Amino acid sequence: MIEEEILLEQEDGNELFENYRIEVDKGQSLLRIDKFLMDRLEQTSRNKIQQAAKADCIKVNNKPVKPNYKVKPGDIVQVFLPTAPREIEIIPQDIPLEIVYEDEDVIVVNKQSEMVVHPGYGNYTGTLLNALTFHFQNQKDKDGNPIRPLLVHRIDKNTTGLLLVAKNEIAQTFLAKQFYDHSVKRTYTALVWGDFDQMEGTIEGNIGRSIKDRKIMQVFPNGDYGKEAITHWRVLFRFGYVTLVECRLETGRTHQIRAHMKYISHPLFNDDTYGGDQIIKGTTYSKYKQFVQNCFKLLPRQALHATTLGFIHPSTRKTIFFESKLPEDMNAVKEKWEAYINYNRPIEEEADQNIIDQSKHEVSNLK
- Residue 156 is a catalytic residue: yes
Under DSSP, the state recorded for 146 is B
CA–CA distance, 163 with 357 (Å, rounded to integer): 53
**Alpha helices of the chain — where are they, by DSSP H?**
33-38, 46-54, 128-136, 169-180, 256-263, 286-298, 328-366
Active-site choice (156, 329, 352, 357): 156
CA–CA distance, 179 with 186 (Å, rounded to integer): 10
For 120-135, b/e burial (b = at least 16 CB within 10 A) is eeeeeeebbbbbbbbb
Beta carbons of 93 and 122 less than 8 angstroms apart? no
At position 38, the amino acid (one-letter code) is: M
> Around Cβ 219, how many Cβ atoms within 10 Å?
21
C-alpha triplet 277, 163, 319: angle, nearest 5°: 130
7-10: strand order across its sheet: 7-10, 17-23, 76-82, 58-60, 63-64
Beta carbons of 169 and 147 less than 8 angstroms apart? no
Please name which of 226, 103, 111 lies closest in space to residue 160, comparing C-alpha atoms. 111
* 163 φ, ψ (degrees, to nearest 5): -135, 135
Q: Residues 83, 209, 252, 99: what is their CA dihedral angle, to the nearest 10 degrees?
A: 70
Bridging pattern class, strands 304-312 and 160-166: parallel
Q: Which residues carry out catalysis?
A: 156
